[in-house]
Homo-oligomer: A and B are copies of this chain.
Amino acid sequence: MADYKFNRTVRLDYHEVLAWQTEMYVAVGMSPTDANTSAHHLVIADARGVYSHGIMRTPTYIEKMRLGGLNPTARPEIIRGKGPTIVVDGHNAMGQVAASFGTEKAIELAREFGSSTVSITGSNHLGTCAYYTEQAAAADMVGFCWTINANNIMAPWGGIDARLGNNPFGISAPCLTRPPVTLDMATSVVARGKIAMAMKTGTQIPSNWALDKFGNPTTDPEAAFHGTVQPSGEYKGYGLTFMNAIVSAILNGSAFGEDVGDFFENPTQVQNTGHLLQFIDISAIDDVTAFKQRMDNAVTYLKAANRREGVDEIFVPGEMEARSFARQTEQGIDYPLEVIQELAQLGTTLGVSTRPEWTAEVAVR
């Protein structure tokens, strides 16, 4: 994800984009704190190179807030609890706001009980799972985040109807001298956006990306778009997808199956998305420094493996994103000019001004 190539890019300062995006979410009615949480999530995703979950989503989020699909002033609430195990109702807040509330509680509870389980309902698309699990890692915890995805695009194995999302999950653990190791993956081979992109550019797709509407592998992006995405790891990926739906959504009664609305196509529909956080305080298991040293050693060990021809470097999960993050928070985040221009237009309707040089063609690099 970390190495996007854009035709026309503009490089923007991390803090300035954050302030700009925060202002937009305030303009649509969010509290400054919630607006900052939402914007922070998106800009962090961009800095990590995961642009698909960054500020390019702001127009969709804001449209939903304007049309009632998302409640900008909702306050997430603990509706049930037993020691380190709680249920949070997001009351239709931004997923980022509900999941951040849950993350804060998960850290507090794991600190007290050694581990915690936070089941979140009444939420929305939470962005990247990594955002929450890396907060666990920063608190010297191992973090798991499971979520059902916003629309049904995958068939059960052997089937042809889209009845599952490509439900993503994340797991993070901290190192001593390196960034945390973070897996953040959806359970399809690729995101559906890549198929849409291939359709736009008229490019054939690899035959393991998608099935056509008859359930057969296809290289035609159009047929793929009207079919279903293939699970990563075939029937195993299908199994993982369903289990993720169970633990994130079915567990607490959030939307599953026919109740799942399309996040993009129906801006007035309440999503009722579910998530699950499981955090483990490392100090409850072992000495934290000893653990982090083992993590460093393990990463070094894997990276030192002999490589197949043409491979310059072996990466551990999240390493490319961490590298992109370090570079882009320091030197500025490269954005496609079109995304910034679209957001500037949205800003105009919200009364949020955009620095003229951000959208000027002359700024194009």
Contact = CB atoms under 8 A, between A and B. Distances in A.
Contacts of A245: 298
A254 to B, nearest CB: 10
A85 B286 CA distance: 12
A84 B115 contact: yes
B142 A298 contact: no
A94 interface: no
Interface in A289-328: 290-291, 294-295, 297-298, 301-303, 305-309, 311, 313-317
Given A80-B284, A246-B142, A291-B251, A239 B173 contact: no
Contact of A250 (B239, B253, B284, B295): B295
B159 A308 contact: yes
Contact of A173 (B216, B246, B280, B298): B246
B315 A246 contact: no
A237 interface: yes
A269 to B, nearest CB: 19
B314 A280 contact: no
A307 B158 contact: yes
A265 interface: no
A306 B159 contact: yes
Interface stretch (A3-11, A27-35, A69-77, A228-236): A228-236
Contacts of A191: none
A119 B157 CA distance: 33
Interface in A218-266: 232-234, 236-237, 239-240, 242-243, 245-247, 250-253, 256-258
A353 B282 CA distance: 49
B314 A243 contact: no
B114 A115 contact: no
A82 B284 contact: yes
A194 to B, nearest CB: 14
Contact of A285 (B251, B307, B315): B251
A288 to B, nearest CB: 11
Copies of this chain present in the complex amount to: 2
A55 to B, nearest CB: 25
B159 A307 contact: yes
Nearest to A244: B171
A236 B1 CA distance: 12
A232 B303 CA distance: 20
A78 interface: no
Given A157-B315, A251-B285, A317-B239, A298 B256 contact: yes
Interface of A: 80-85, 87, 112-117, 119, 142, 144, 155-161, 163-164, 171, 173, 181, 183, 185, 189, 211, 214-216, 232-234, 236-237, 239-240, 242-243, 245-247, 250-253, 256-258, 278, 280-282, 284-286, 290-291, 294-295, 297-298, 301-303, 305-309, 311, 313-317
20 contacts: A82-B284, A83-B112, A84-B115, A87-B286, A119-B280, A142-B247, A159-B305, A159-B314, A161-B305, A161-B306, A171-B246, A181-B242, A214-B308, A242-B302, A242-B317, A246-B295, A250-B295, A251-B291, A252-B286, A256-B294
